[in-house]
Chain A
Amino acid sequence: DAGVTQSPTHLIKTRGQQVTLRCSPKSGHDTVSWYQQALGQGPQFIFQYYEEEERQRGNFPDRFSGHQFPNYSSELNVNALLLGDSALYLCASSLGGRVQPQHFGDGTRLSIL
């Protein structure tokens, strides 16, 4: 039973560039949430996708956008990268409509030079 998988594991970009991160949810899950974790901090909620739509969003600018595909996998896109976007980006999946824990992937470490 595959858990949440994220790609790539590491990524280095320069300021102003754009990046796309990918996530495949745990088998049987249909809801995907994205979090940003800066060094030494707890994860911060970016947004959540369910039925291919953004269901709720945290306090992040429009430079952060996402998408969910019919197979429930998801992408996180960040435009016009800033140095402050350097962080570990975590994807979590769950089964929508049920109160249950979110399962996290190992994350993508994004470094902005």
Chain B
Amino acid sequence: SQELEQSPQSLIVQEGKNLTINCTSSKTLYGLYWYKQKYGEGLIFLMMLQKGGEEKSHEKITAKLDEKKQQSSLHITASQPSHAGIYLCGADNFGNEKLTFGTGTRLTIIP
């Protein structure tokens, strides 16, 4: 099984709707990072979560960490075309900055 699983793999959402992306780790989480990637480009850092129950928000994006379940969720409120892209979660399982990534969630926003 994958060390880090994301769901769904792809998502098509109408503009203005809310959406949630999930990330589950099979190993202990020392840190969980969310990145966004435009096709074929570099990763843009969104948020970092470390403590169980931690929740962070930036503009219309909120991320939460459930340490016991080794899960994180990324929630986008009132989606916009600028939110389209690939969302990747990265896990630091050993506290050594070696990140393991999920396969990503491809988000498409339709008018």
Contact = CB atoms under 8 A, between A and B. Distances in A.
Interface of A: 4, 31, 33, 35, 40-45, 48, 56, 58, 88, 90, 92, 94, 96, 99-107, 109
19 contacts: A4-B42, A33-B99, A35-B99, A42-B4, A42-B103, A43-B99, A44-B101, A45-B100, A48-B97, A56-B96, A92-B43, A96-B97, A99-B30, A99-B31, A101-B33, A103-B45, A104-B42, A104-B45, A107-B42
Interface of B: 4, 30-31, 33, 35, 40-45, 48, 50, 88, 90, 95-104
Given A104-B35, A109-B40, A42 B50 contact: no
Contacts of A42: 4, 88, 90, 101-104
A35 B31 CA distance: 18
Contacts of A96: 97
A106 B42 contact: yes
Contacts, number: 62
B98 A56 contact: yes
A44 to B, nearest CB: 8
Nearest to A43: B101
A101 B40 CA distance: 21
Contact of A31 (B48, B97, B101, B103): B97
Nearest to A33: B97
A105 B88 CA distance: 15
B98 A45 contact: yes
Contact of A100 (B40, B48, B99): B48
Contacts of A33: 97-99
Contacts of A107: 40-42
A45 B99 contact: yes
A33 B4 CA distance: 19
Nearest to B4: A42
Contacts of B42: 4, 90, 104-107
